[in-house]
Structure 1
Amino acid sequence: MFDPNYSIFSSKLPLFNITTKGLTNTGNICYMNSILQILLYCEPFNRLLKLIEDKSIGNLSKVSPTPLLDATIKFFNEFVDNPINSRTISPETFYMNLINHKKFSHLKWGQQEDAEEFMGYYLDGLNEEFVEAIRKLNTPNDDDADDEDYTRFNDDNDGWNEVGSNNKSISINKAVEVEPTPINFIFGGQFKSVLTIPKSATSNQFKKSITFDPFQNLQLDISEADSIEDAFNNLNNIEKISFKSKHNKELQIKKQTFIDKLPQVLIIHLKRFSFLKEKEVGIEKLRKRVDYSHDLKIPKGVLSNNIKLGGDEELIYRLTGVVYHHGSSAEGGHYTSDVLKKSCNEWVRIDDTLIKSVSEDEVLGGPEENIKNAYILMYERK
Structure 2
Amino acid sequence: MGANVSQLEREIGSDLFPANEHYFGLVNFGNTCYSNSVLQALYFCKPFREKVLEYKAKNKRPKETLLSCLADLFYSIATQKKKVGSIAPKKFITRLRKEKEEFDNYMQQDAHEFLNFLINHINEIILAERNAGPSHGNGNGNGKSSGGGASTSQMATSTASKSSSTSNSNSNSNSTSNSTTTNGNSSNSTGSLNAAAGAAAATTSVLDASGGLTATTTPLVQTNGANSEPTWVHEIFQGILTSETRCLNCETVSSKDENFFDLQVDVDQNTSITHCLRCFSNTETLCSDNKFKCDNCCSYQEAQKRMRVKKLPMILALHLKRFKYMEQFNRHIKVSHRVVFPLELRLFNTSDDAVNPDRLYDLTAVVIHCGSGPNRGHYISIVKSHGLWLLFDDDMVDKIEASTIEDFYGLTSDIHKSSETGYILFYQSRDCA
Q: Which residue of 2 aligns with 1:80?
A: 78
Moved more, 27-36 or 188-197: 188-197
Q: How far did 1:209 drift?
A: 3.3
User: Per-residue deviation at 1:286?
Assistant: 1.3
Which residue matches 1:157?
none
1:337–1:349 contact (8 Å) kept in structure 2: yes
Alignment match of 1:304 (pick from 351, 354, 365) = 351
Tell me, yes or no, if the aligned pair for 1:196 and 1:208 is still in contact at 8 Å: yes
- 2:312–2:355 Cα contact (<8 Å) kept: no
Q: Which residue of 2 aligns with 1:239?
A: 284
Match in the other structure for 1:368 = 411
Q: CA deviation at 1:132?
A: 1.8
- Aligned position for 1:315: 359
Residue 349 (str. 1) matches residue 398 (str. 2): no
Deviation at 1:81, TM superposition (A): 4.4
Q: Tell me, in whole angstroms, the C-alpha distance in 2 between the residues paired with 1:23 and 1:293.
A: 27
> Counterparts of 1:146 and 1:99 in 2: how far apart (Å)?
33
Q: Is the 8 A contact 1:24 1:90 kept in 2?
A: yes
| Structure 2 counterpart of 1:136, from 120, 128, 132 | 132
Shift of 1:152: 4.1
Distance 1:42 1:147, change over 3 A: closer
Corresponding residue number in structure 1 for 2:113: 117
Equivalent residue number for residue 384 of structure 2: 340
Q: CA deviation at 1:23?
A: 1.5
C-alpha distance in structure 1 between counterparts of 2:341 and 2:66, whole Å: 33
Q: State whether structure 2 residue 275 is matched by structure 1 residue 230.
A: yes
Report if the CA contact (8 A) 1:323-1:374 is conserved.
yes
**1:242 and 1:250 in contact (8 A); partners too:** no
Alignment of 1:21-32 (within 5 A): 21-32=24-35
**Counterpart in 1 of 2:321?**
271
| Deviation for aligned residue 1:188 | 0.7
TM score, norm. by length of structure 1: 0.76
Q: Structure 1 pair 38/262, CA: closer, same or farther in 2 (3 Å)?
A: same
Query: Corresponding residue for 1:40?
Result: 43
Residues 60-113 of structure 1, C-alpha deviations (whole Å, 9 max, x = no match): x4x45xx11110111112213434898222223211111222xx2211331021
Cα contact 2:282–2:306 (8 A) shared by 1: yes
What is the deviation of 1:278?
A: 2.4
Q: Is the 8 A contact 1:275 1:282 kept in 2?
A: yes
Which of residues 58, 65, 70 in structure 1 aligns to 2:60? 58
CA shift for structure 1 position 234: 0.7
* Aligned partner (choices 56, 67, 81) of residue 69 of structure 1: 67
Count of matched residue pairs: 323
Map of 1:89 onto structure 2: 87
The superposition leaves residues 222-258 of structure 1 with CA deviations (integer Å, 9 ceiling, x where unpaired) of 2266111111111101222324589xx9843322110
C-alpha separation in 2, matches of 1:148 and 1:212 = 18
**How many Å separate the matches in 2 of 1:152 and 1:265?**
17
> Offset at 1:360?
1.0
What is the RMSD of the two structures over their aligned residues, measured on CA atoms? 3.1
Q: Is the 8 A contact 2:316 2:427 kept in 1?
A: yes
TM-score by length of 2: 0.67
* Greater C-alpha Rg: 1
For residues 151-230 of structure 1, the aligned pairs below 5 Å read 151-152=151-152, 179-198=229-248, 204-223=249-268, 226-230=271-275
Question: SS in structure 1 opposite 2:422?
Answer: strand
Verify: 1:283 aligned to 2:325, yes or no.
Answer: no
1:252 and 2:302 matched: yes
- Shift in CA distance, 57/329, structure 1 to aligned 2, threshold 3 Å: closer
Q: Distance in 2 between matches of 1:145 and 1:351?
A: 35
SS at 1:79 equivalent: helix
Is 2:342 aligned against 1:293? yes
Quick one: structure 1 residues 381 and 57, their matched pair in 2 at CA, closer, same or farther if it must change by over 3 Å? Answer: closer
User: Quick one: distance in 2 between partners of 1:341 and 1:146?
Assistant: 24
Distance change in 2, residues 1:206/1:286 (3 Å): same
Structure 1 residues 146 and 348, CA gap change in structure 2 (3 angstroms) = closer
Aligned residue for 2:407, secondary structure, equals: coil
- Secondary structure of the corresponding residue to residue 340 of structure 2: coil
Residue deviations 1:330-349, cap 9 Å, x none? 1111111001112xx11111
Q: 1:149 to 1:239 in 2, by over 3 A?
A: same
Q: Distance in 2 between matches of 1:320 and 1:217?
A: 15
For residues 267-323 of structure 1, the C-alpha deviation after alignment (integer angstroms, 9 at most, x for no partner) is 1111112111325x4212210111121111212xx11122257xxx83210111011
Amino acid at match of 1:368: L
Q: Does the 8 Å CA contact 1:243/1:250 hold for their aligned counterparts? A: no
SS in structure 1 of the partner of residue 372 of structure 2:
coil
* Matched residue SS, 2:77: coil
